[in-house]
């Protein structure tokens, strides 16, 4: 028998639960679907919020051929074969077939490269699904050819609605006399994941035989989960909550808690590359210039874990976690790029000052490109004060050194050279 989540998978936008900002009446994606002018897209969101279902509904509603690949077990050869099949079905003015790739963030650069031509030429309309930030996990050439739509975790009311629909519409559950007295534990263990919610519901309702009354309470759900804890942990219990606790423990300089949450992830079957990636991000975002070696340690940890694998990788991860948790913290680099990006959005494409423009031709030199540029190495201590920002924003200060020993030295270094400009 099919799992409950598969039996209840919706086939139309009207039955689809959640993501009203994307597929509600008058929303941007719904308009694209209803007009038939569908862009290639990346659906980014946590597990169980309807990425695969939405791709299937789009294909069904637009009556387009639908090819699906999982990045976990598909290679370049599989991608090319799917594209060839799609190309063989595209006749005259027929709409593009849809190629759905689940967990597209797991594709290597070469695998993603193999999609470019087909997407660019319109052989297929790509729909990729990912739980990871596509800015980091999808190559820029492919990302530039796709719209990115962000799917949100399901709200409590939406999850409760899914339970009620299951009890009302599923032919097997209708045979049982089921009443939901309490939703709390059902929603807690689902973690906003509709698939996990239906798995828990099925687990609990399997305790009753046909015709027997079962009242779902928090205690009943908790007991059922405890009985099946090993199975439930393998699916990555509270995946995002535990990952959040892991990051916040390192950011908060608590190595005991950080190692505990690391153990929770390892015991739950979490992908060690996922763990290592999170530490690389933390090393840059939360430690940064306070200890630049942290980023080197984190990237080395990533490489070592990929080379060694479990079980030994747990030791490498533990060493890196403790190092990051006990490192001094600074987010000055993160704040600086954030402020710089905001300044660019506010001021647009300001002109590069003439004296720091490149001047490879005589015409450019005649136009004063590079004129009055002062070569730093010609001066004492390899430094000379001059302006490098556009005139309109030259007074803006974007980098503020953090309150730690390493950045205090940076503060003094800048102050000695720039005087008032970097006086802080």
> How far is it, in rounded angstroms, from Cα 119 to Cα 142?
8
Asked if residue 108 and residue 31 are part of one domain, the reply reads yes
Q: Per the structure, how many domains does the chain have?
A: 4
CATH value at residue 70 = 3.40.50.300
Residue 344, domain member (yes or no): no
Evaluate whether 321 touches 301 at the Cβ level (below 8 Å).
no
Last residue in a domain, options 150, 171, 192: 150
Pairwise CA distance, residues 5 & 170, whole Å: 10
Asked if residue 335 is part of any domain, the answer here is: no
Q: Within 10 A of 304 (CB to CB), how many other CB atoms are there? A: 18
The pLDDT, as a whole number, for residue 208 is 64
CA separation, residue 276 to residues 19, 262, 297, 321 (Å):
30, 10, 11, 9
Residues 190-220 have pLDDT tens digits of 777 788 888 888 878 877 665 667 888 888 8
CB 124 within 8 A of CB 83: yes
Please tell me whether residues 320 and 271 are part of one structural domain.
Answer: yes
Examine residue 177 and state whether it is found in any structural domain, yes or no. yes
Q: Which residues contact 232 (CB under 8 A, 6 or more apart)?
A: 189, 225
**For residue 72, what are the contacts with CB-CB under 8 A and spacing of at least 6?**
102, 103, 106
On whether both 300 and 369 belong to a single domain, the answer is no
Q: For residues 424 and 419, give the distance between their C-alpha atoms in angstroms, rounded to a whole number.
A: 9
User: Domain range holding 203?
Assistant: 156-234
Could you give the CA distance from residue 287 to residue 316 in angstroms, rounded to a whole number? 19
Q: Is 115 found in the same domain as 53?
A: yes
Residue 92 structure tokens: 């005259």
Q: Identify whether residues 146 and 165 lie together within a single domain.
A: no
Q: Say yes or no: 45 and 142 in one domain.
A: yes
Judged on CB neighbours under 10 Å (0-12, 13-18, 19+), 360 is: exposed
**How far apart are the C-alpha atoms of 212 and 205, rounded to whole Å?**
10
Instruction: Tell me if 325 sits within 8 A of 400, measured CB to CB.
Output: no
Check whether residue 275 and residue 391 sit in a common domain: no
The per-residue pLDDT for 68 is 84
Instruction: Give pLDDT tens digits for 116-129.
Output: 888 888 888 889 89
115 with 81: CB under 8 angstroms?
Answer: no
The one-character DSSP state at 403 is: S
In whole angstroms, give the CA distance from residue 274 to residue 106. Answer: 10
**Which of these three, 150, 175, 190, is where a domain ends?**
150
37 plus 125 within the same structural domain? yes
- Tell me whether residue 212 is in a domain: yes
- Residues in CB range of 148: below 8 A, 6 or more apart: 41, 42, 44, 134
Both 283 and 267 in one domain: the answer is yes
**342: in domain:** no
The count of residues in the chain is 424
The reply to whether 22 and 140 lie within a common domain is: yes
- What CATH number is associated with residue 164? 1.10.8
Our CA angle for 255, 322, 294, nearest 5°, is: 125
Give the residues of the chain that fall short of pLDDT 50.
Answer: 229-237
Whole-angstrom CA distances from 101 to 4, 55, 133, 170 are 23, 10, 15, 29
pLDDT score of 229: 46
Same domain for 164 and 119? Answer: no
Inside any domain, residue 4: no
- CATH number of the domain residue 396 falls in: 1.10.3710
Residue 32 lies in a domain: yes
Of the candidates 179, 206, 234, which is a domain's last residue?
234
Q: Which two tokens stand for residue 307?
A: 């080379």
pLDDT at 219: 82
Instruction: Give the pair of three-digit tokens for residue 300.
Output: 């080395």
Do 92 and 145 lie in a common domain? yes
| Residue 261 resides in a domain | yes
Domain containing residue 293: CATH number: 1.20.272.10
Q: What are the pLDDT digits (tens) for 7-66? A: 888 888 878 888 888 888 888 888 888 888 888 899 988 888 888 889 989 888 888 888
């Amino acid at each position: 028998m099919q799992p409950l989540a598969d039996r209840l998978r919706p086939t139309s936008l009207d039955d689809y639960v959640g993501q009203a900002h994307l597929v509600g009446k008058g929303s941007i994606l719904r308009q694209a679907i209803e007009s038939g002018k569908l862009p290639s897209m990346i659906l980014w969101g946590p597990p169980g919020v309807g990425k695969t279902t939405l791709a299937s509904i789009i294909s069904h509603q637009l009556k387009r051929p639908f090819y699906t690949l999982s990045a976990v077990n598909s290679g370049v050869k599989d991608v090319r074969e799917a594209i060839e099949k799609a190309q063989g079905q595209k006749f005259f003015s027929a709409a593009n077939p849809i190629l759905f790739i689940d967990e597209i963030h797991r594709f290597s650069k070469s695998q993603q490269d193999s999609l470019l031509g087909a997407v660019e030429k319109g052989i297929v309309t790509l729909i990729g699904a990912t739980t990871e930030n596509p800015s980091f996990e999808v190559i820029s050439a492919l990302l530039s050819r796709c719209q990115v739509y962000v799917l949100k975790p399901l709200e409590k009311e939406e999850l409760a609605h899914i339970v009620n629909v299951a009890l009302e519409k599923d032919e097997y559950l209708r045979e049982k006399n089921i009443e939901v007295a309490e939703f709390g534990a059902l929603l807690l263990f689902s973690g906003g994941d509709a698939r996990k919610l239906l798995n828990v519901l099925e687990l609990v309702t399997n305790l009753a035989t046909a015709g027997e009354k079962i009242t779902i309470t928090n205690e009943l759900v908790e007991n059922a989960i405890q009985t099946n804890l090993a199975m439930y942990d393998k699916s990555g219990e509270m995946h995002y909550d535990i990952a959040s606790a892991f990051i916040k423990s390192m950011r908060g300089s608590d190595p005991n808690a950080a190692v505990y949450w690391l153990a929770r992830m390892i015991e739950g079957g979490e992908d060690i590359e996922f763990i290592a990636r999170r530490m690389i991000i933390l090393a840059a975002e939360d430690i940064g210039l306070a200890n630049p070696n942290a980023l080197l340690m984190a990237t080395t940890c990533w490489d070592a874990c990929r080379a060694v694998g479990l079980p030994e990788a747990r030791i490498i991860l533990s060493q890196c976690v403790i190092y990051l948790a006990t490192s001094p913290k600074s987010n000055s680099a993160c704040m600086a790029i954030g402020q710089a990006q905001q300044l660019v959005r506010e001021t647009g494409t300001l002109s590069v000052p003439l004296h720091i423009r490149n001047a490879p031709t005589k015409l450019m030199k005649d136009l004063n490109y590079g004129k009055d540029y002062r070569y730093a190495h010609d001066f004492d201590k390899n430094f000379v004060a001059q302006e490098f920002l556009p005139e309109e924003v030259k007074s803006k200060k974007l980098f503020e050194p953090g309150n730690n020993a390493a950045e205090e030295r940076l503060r003094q270094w800048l102050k000695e050279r720039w005087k008032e400009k970097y006086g802080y």
